Amino acid sequence: MAVPKRRQSHSRTNLRRSNNSKLTAPTLVKCAKCGEYNPAHRVCSACGYYGDKEIVKKTEA
């Protein structure tokens, strides 16, 4: 199996890795209860619901 002749420097490694986060934007879905956009499969930060169940009680302040 092929093996690199020299070790890759930290700078070169980091330059390569810096482009990984630019590939895709985070997927956001609309909350069925309030219409707020949140990451998929997470409790809604606005109303506290996940699907049709209330997970976090939100108090109005």
Question: What are the domain boundaries of the chain?
Answer: 27-61
| Angstrom distance (rounded) from CA 28 to CA 42 | 10
Q: How confident is the model at residue 61, as a pLDDT?
A: 61
pTM for the model: 0.54
Spatial CB neighbours of 30, under 8 Å, sequence gap ≥ 6: 36, 37
Question: What single letter denotes the amino acid at residue 14?
Answer: N
Tokens of 19: 């482009």
For the stretch 17-61, pLDDT in tens is: 988 777 787 899 999 889 999 999 999 989 999 988 888 887 776
pLDDT at residue 15 in the model: 92
Element (H, E) at 48: none
Predicted pLDDT at 39: 93
pLDDT band at 12; cut points 50, 70, 90: very high
